[in-house]
Amino acid sequence: APRAKTESAGPGLPERAYWEGSGANPWHRGPAEATALASYAFARTRPEAAVAKKSVDWLLAHRVGDGWQPAKAKGPALAALAAHYARGKSAEDRYRLVVTVNDQSVYQADVTGAADGKAVLVPRRVLKAAGVKNRVHFDIEGRGTFGYAVTLTGFTRDFAPDQDRHDRAFTVDRRVYWAPAPAFDGKPLATGFGVAVNAQGFENTITQLPVGGRTSISVEASRHGVDGRPAWERDFLVLEEHLPAGTTLVEGSVRSQANHHTYADGVLTLYFAPDQSPGCVYDVFGYLPGEYRALPPTLSSAYEPGRRHLGPAGGLKVLTPGEKPTDPYRPTPDELYARGKALFDSGRQAEAAAPLEALWSAYTLRNDVARDAARMLLVIHIGLDQPKKVVQYFEVLKEKAPELVIPFDQIRAVGRAYTAIGEFERAYLVWRAVAEASYLEDARVGEVLRQRGRSLESVGFLLDLWREYPGTASIEADFFGLAQVVAGLARLSTTEPATRRELAA
């Protein structure tokens, strides 16, 4: 009793008593529950104490709607009131009660002794339009005590959840309806910005979902002010997420840190321990065409449900069969690269050109990705016979991948491309490089013959090869080397019997 606080009930009225309930632990915070527990203890043990009646007056004065805040105080409060009034306080009540709403009578009763509660439905025609106050008036004739609660129910198109983030221990940051994950031949494709350098990120969200389509929905939430606070002083949190009507939860698709979750009546409920981050991602199927709204997600304290934060209201349209979605979609660089490579590897090179060209023109790529993309684009445009593109990507490969070996037929196509665009000098350089590379490749046969002891045959092969190839500077210089080989064989024939026999034969 000495710990009770008092507050004024108004001029000429007895003061009311309450207990603050200001402990650090969340399971007994708040004056409503603390006062209810203390009042119940007095009603059971010392009902005659003056503070007992004062605490009951405080509970009645601080009732909100049909209960108390937080909601878990409702049980102790009802127990305290029931224990207090069970002593027969209302046994001698004798009164007539008339209830009016906006000067229209909605309820009349003659009360004798204790009476049960009564729910009164007020006709809609009696209520005033939104934005205008409605007045509830009680006329009592006789002696007695009564209590009441007024609740306004119905539907509204104006969702205005409390978005104030000031001094909140936890908040719902946003709810996102993601675009369906891209796929190629039934296999998911990579998404993101990993192949690009310093790319500006973006998101693909939707407002429409094809019937039978699948998409992911994420609810992002945060705890605030938890640095340095031990886990036992943080809240256990409950997240309630309302699915859009017309969709159904994909079983096993919920991803979160929650200890436990349940799904019933279109509401996904998740329970988070103090050391877990709130939020979730889950998948839905669209099964019933229509345009639907979703209530805001609610994040609340398990100990004090009155401490809560609401996220934004949502909405999703499930399209009729055959109806095409109109939501804009922009593929990410990772998706463009993955799709282009998948098409290229499957032999659909003409189709691979579009995503790879979009990737190349819009982003600065990592060196390894740029080399691979340029290689694929070179092959694609050789097949499409586009000389300018062939030259463009050959120049890129020459700079970024000088060690890359390009097949002979592709090099020939590069030479033709330079000729087609009028770059004759570069075409000559390509043809000369092709000739010299081919000459060196064929000359290996002569070396193999020499290693097998057929030196004269090797010289003959190389001489014929020299005659067939064009007289570029390097090939002409090779003739001098061939002459030195022949002179060397003549010298060896005087000292090595095997060489002498081979030359004689």
Exposure string (b/e) for 105-116, b if CB count within 10 Å is 16 or more?
eeeeeebeeeee
State the residue for tokens 């009951």: 56
Structure tokens at 32: 């409503």
Q: What is the DSSP letter of 419?
A: H
pLDDT of the residue at 263: 94
Q: What is the DSSP string of 122-185?
A: PPGGGSPPTTS---EEEEEEEE-------------S--------TT-SEEEEEEEEBPPPPEET
Given a contact cutoff of 8 angstroms between Cβ atoms, the answer to whether 148 and 199 are in contact is: no
Helix axis angle, 349-362 to 367-383, nearest 10°: 140
pTM score of the predicted model: 0.59
Q: What angle do helix axes 424-451 and 455-468 make, rounded to 10 degrees?
A: 170
| Residue 372 to residue 365: CA distance in whole angstroms | 10
Read off the DSSP letter of residue 22: B
**Interhelix angle 424-451/408-420, nearest 10 degrees:** 160
CA gap 39, 27 in Å, rounded: 18
Token pair in block for residue 461: 């092969």
List b or e across 281-314, with b for residues whose CB sees 16 or more CB atoms inside 10 angstroms. ebbbbbeebeebebbbbbbbbbbbbbbbbbbebb
Q: Which residues of 382-392 are buried (b: 16+ CB within 10 A; e: fewer)?
A: beeebbebbbb
Which own/partner pairs from 160-163 qualify as long-range (CB within 8 Å, at least 24 positions apart)? 161/296, 161/310, 161/311, 161/312, 161/313, 162/309, 162/310, 163/310, 163/312
- Look at residue 481 in the predicted model and tell me its pLDDT: 73
CB 148 within 8 A of CB 296: no
Half-sphere exposure (Cβ direction) of 148: Cα atoms closer than 13 Å: 13
pLDDT at residue 402, as a whole number? 72
In angstroms, the Cα distances linking 22 to 25, 26, 28, 34, 61 are: 9, 9, 8, 9, 20
Q: In whole angstroms, what is the distance from residue 437 CA to residue 477 CA?
A: 15
**Please, which residues have CB within 8 angstroms of residue 334's CB and are 6 or more apart in sequence?**
189, 190, 191, 192, 193, 194, 195
Q: Residue 498 has which token pair?
A: 């095997």
> Cα dist. 347→310, 344, 351 in Å?
51, 5, 9
Burial of 399 (0-12, 13-18, 19+ CB in 10 A): exposed
Angstrom distance (rounded) from CA 15 to CA 17: 7
Three-class DSSP labels, 104-131: EEEEEEEEECCCCCCCCCCCHHHCCCCC
Distance between CA atoms of 83 and 318, rounded to whole angstroms?
Answer: 53
Helix, strand and coil content of the chain, in percent to the nearest 5, comes to: 40, 20, 40
pLDDT (tens place) for every residue of the chain, 505 residues total: 999 999 998 888 899 999 988 766 665 678 998 999 999 999 888 888 889 999 999 999 998 877 888 788 899 999 999 888 876 566 678 899 999 999 999 999 998 876 777 899 999 889 887 778 889 999 999 988 778 888 877 766 665 666 677 778 899 999 999 998 888 888 888 889 999 998 888 999 999 999 989 999 999 999 987 777 777 778 899 999 999 989 999 999 999 999 999 999 999 999 999 989 999 999 999 999 999 989 899 999 988 887 888 888 888 999 999 888 899 999 999 999 999 999 998 888 889 889 999 999 899 989 889 888 988 988 888 888 888 888 888 778 777 777 776 676 777 777 778 777 787 767 666 666 666 666 666 667 767 777 776 777 777 777 776 676 666 666 677 777 777 777 877 777 788 787 777 777 7
Looking up tokens 């010299």 gives 436
Give yes or no for a contact between 469 and 475, defined as CB atoms under 8 angstroms apart: yes
Q: Which two tokens stand for residue 224?
A: 């605030």
